[in-house]
Structure 1
Amino acid sequence: MSDFARYFALDVPSLLAILAMMAVTYATRVTGYLVLRNRTLSPRATAVLEAVPGAVLISVIAPAFTTTNPADLLGLAVTLAMACRFPMLPTVIVGVAVTALLRHML
């Protein structure tokens, strides 16, 4: 077996866990669509649904506020600065890349 194949080989329980997570994620999206497809949402409900991605992102980023790791704190500062000027996707990409680079360098 080559190094590449050995590095990327998954054991069966890990593969099953990944497939189960994929199925559950897909099921929640499809269920939401099926439940709401014939309904007209109020402006308030629409605003709540539009805020969900930001809330999830904050729940992932929030633990970084309590760290003492300088790389994470600098990455957090860059991410916050990016969030003030750019949309979410570029902000996340740059934040992750900068944090990874800083963790490698520091």
Structure 2
Amino acid sequence: MIELTLTSSTYLTIGAAALATYSLRLGGLMLASKLPQSGRFKKFMDALPGTILLSLIVPGMVEAGIIGGIAAGCTAICAYKTKNAFVSMLIGVLIVALYRRF
């Protein structure tokens, strides 16, 4: 059995990670007011969340194979029709889970 112990270096590492994370968030908020609010940069920034989402979804979809594509398609259709992200993701997860179960 593995015994886990919390040492001062563990707490220091967690604290440093939290400090770095919140510093980046605060820096982003402070920098946002200085960025251009129109033009090509705004178009780029508006497209960024979608591209990040795709970079997270596509590898898992490809790994799941044809059922991953079917689940992604059903999820996209559900999201378009219902405008509800939670229900859409739930549909996709259920399709893959049911396929794996049966």
Q: Same fold (TM over 0.5)?
A: yes
Match of 1:26 among 22, 26, 43: 22
Q: What amino acid maps onto 1:62 in structure 2?
A: V
Structure 2: segments with no counterpart, 5+ residues? none
Which runs of at least 4 in structure 1 moved beyond 4 Å after TM superposition?
10-13, 68-71
Give percent identity, aligned residues only.
19
- The higher radius of gyration belongs to 2
Q: What amino acid maps onto 1:66 in structure 2?
A: V
Q: Deviations over 1:32-67 (max 9, x none)?
A: 221232455224322222222111110011113433
CA–CA distance in structure 2, aligned partners of residues 38 and 28 of structure 1 = 16
Answer yes or no: is the 8 Å Cα contact 1:71–1:103 preserved in 2: yes
The alignment of Structure 1 onto Structure 2 pairs a total of residues equal to: 94
Answer yes or no: is the 8 Å Cα contact 1:75–1:102 preserved in 2: no
Structure 1: segments with no counterpart, 5+ residues? 1-9
User: Greater CA deviation, 60-69 or 27-36?
Assistant: 60-69
**CA RMSD, aligned part only?**
3.7
Structure-2-length-normalised TM-score:
0.56
Aligned-partner SS, 2:26: helix
Q: Which has the higher contact order (CA 8 A, sep 6+)?
A: 1
